[in-house]
Structure 1
Amino acid sequence: MASISVVVPIYKVEKYLDRCIISILNQSYNDFELILVDDGSPDNCGKICDEYAKKDTRIHVIHQENRGLSAARNAGIDWAFKNSSSKWITFIDSDDWIDIRFLEELHNAAIQLNVDISICDYIRTKGEAKIAKKPFLYEKYNVEDFYVRQRIVATIACAKLYKKDCFNEIRYPVGKLHEDEFTTYLVLFNSRQIAFVNAPLYLYFINYDSIMQSQWNIRRLDALEAFETQLVFFKQNGYNKAYVRVADAYIQGVSYNLNKIKQNGISWIIKEKYRIKFIREVLKLRKQINIKISTYPALYNEFFPKFMYLYWFSKTLINKMKRKK
Structure 2
Amino acid sequence: MAPRLSLVVPIYNVERYLGECLDSIAAQTFEDFECVMVDDGSTDDGPAIAKDHAERDRRFRLVRQENQGLGAARNTGWRHLTPGTEYLAFVDSDDIVPPHAYQLMISTLGDTGSDFAAGNALRLRTTGLTPSHAHRRPFRETRLGTHVSELPALVTDRTAWNKVYRRSFFDAAGLLYPEGILYEDAPVSVPHHFLAERVDVLADPIYHWRVREDGDLSITQKKTDPRGLVDRVRSMELVREWLLARPEPAFAEHLRAYDRNCLVEEIPMFFWTVPDGDHAYRTAYQQHVSRLLHAIGPEAQAGLSPQLRLKYGLTTAGRMHRFVALQRLHRAVRRTRQAVGRR
Tell me the equivalent position of 1:243. Answer: 255
Tell me the equivalent position of 1:318. Answer: none
| Residue 95 of structure 1, CA deviation | 0.8
Give the alignment's TM-score, normalised by structure 1.
0.80
| Residue 2 of structure 1, CA deviation | 0.8
Q: Pick which of 176-185 and 163-172 moved more.
A: 163-172
Amino acid at match of 1:212: T
Tell me the equivalent position of 2:303. Answer: 290
| Residue 298 of structure 1, CA deviation | 3.9
- Taking the aligned partners of 1:50 and 1:279, their CA distance within structure 2 comes to 47
Q: Is residue 2:240 matched to residue 1:231? A: yes
Amino acid at match of 1:265: H
Q: Is residue 2:220 matched to residue 1:212? A: yes
- Taking the aligned partners of 2:16 and 2:30, their CA distance within structure 1 comes to 26
| Residue 195 of structure 1, CA deviation | 1.3
Go from structure 1 to structure 2 and tell me whether the alpha carbon gap of 1:267 and 1:115 turns closer, same or farther (over 3 Å shift): closer
1:109–1:196 contact (8 Å) kept in structure 2: no
| Residue 157 of structure 1, CA deviation | 0.8
1:224–1:250 contact (8 Å) kept in structure 2: no
Q: Is residue 2:176 matched to residue 1:163? A: no
Unaligned runs of 5+ in 1: 309-325
Tell me the equivalent position of 2:279. Answer: 265
Instruction: Name the SS of the counterpart of 1:22 in structure 2.
Output: helix
1:36–1:59 contact (8 Å) kept in structure 2: yes
| Residue 213 of structure 1, CA deviation | 1.4
1:37–1:63 contact (8 Å) kept in structure 2: yes
Instruction: Name the SS of the counterpart of 1:72 in structure 2.
Output: helix
Go from structure 1 to structure 2 and tell me whether the alpha carbon gap of 1:264 and 1:281 turns closer, same or farther (over 3 Å shift): farther
**Deviations 1:70-103, CA, capped at 9 Å, x for gaps:** 01100110001xx343111100111111111111
Q: Pick which of 166-175 and 264-273 moved more.
A: 264-273
Instruction: Name the SS of the counterpart of 2:185 in structure 1.
Output: helix
Tell me the equivalent position of 1:201. Answer: 206
Go from structure 1 to structure 2 and tell me whether the alpha carbon gap of 1:52 and 1:306 turns closer, same or farther (over 3 Å shift): closer
- Taking the aligned partners of 1:190 and 1:173, their CA distance within structure 2 comes to 18
Q: Is residue 2:77 matched to residue 1:63? A: no
- Taking the aligned partners of 2:165 and 2:112, their CA distance within structure 1 comes to 14
- Taking the aligned partners of 1:24 and 1:112, their CA distance within structure 2 comes to 23
Unaligned runs of 5+ in 2: 132-140, 323-343
- Taking the aligned partners of 1:176 and 1:149, their CA distance within structure 2 comes to 25
| Residue 50 of structure 1, CA deviation | 0.5
- Taking the aligned partners of 1:121 and 1:267, their CA distance within structure 2 comes to 32
Go from structure 1 to structure 2 and tell me whether the alpha carbon gap of 1:296 and 1:18 turns closer, same or farther (over 3 Å shift): farther
- Taking the aligned partners of 1:282 and 1:157, their CA distance within structure 2 comes to 25
Q: Pick which of 4-13 and 208-217 moved more.
A: 208-217
- Taking the aligned partners of 1:181 and 1:198, their CA distance within structure 2 comes to 20
Instruction: Name the SS of the counterpart of 1:212 in structure 2.
Output: helix
- Taking the aligned partners of 1:111 and 1:7, their CA distance within structure 2 comes to 21
- Taking the aligned partners of 1:276 and 1:248, their CA distance within structure 2 comes to 16
Q: Is residue 2:145 matched to residue 1:140? A: yes
Tell me the equivalent position of 1:313. Answer: none
Q: Equivalent residues in 2 for 1:25-44 (5 A)? A: 25-44=26-45
How many pairs were matched up?
299
| Residue 230 of structure 1, CA deviation | 2.9
1:144–1:241 contact (8 Å) kept in structure 2: no
Go from structure 1 to structure 2 and tell me whether the alpha carbon gap of 1:199 and 1:254 turns closer, same or farther (over 3 Å shift): closer
2:89–2:164 contact (8 Å) kept in structure 1: yes
RMSD, aligned α-carbons: 3.1
Amino acid at match of 2:312: L
- Taking the aligned partners of 1:186 and 1:163, their CA distance within structure 2 comes to 15
- Taking the aligned partners of 2:255 and 2:9, their CA distance within structure 1 comes to 31
Go from structure 1 to structure 2 and tell me whether the alpha carbon gap of 1:303 and 1:44 turns closer, same or farther (over 3 Å shift): closer
| Residue 247 of structure 1, CA deviation | 1.9
Deviating runs (4+, > 6 A) in structure 1?
Answer: 267-272
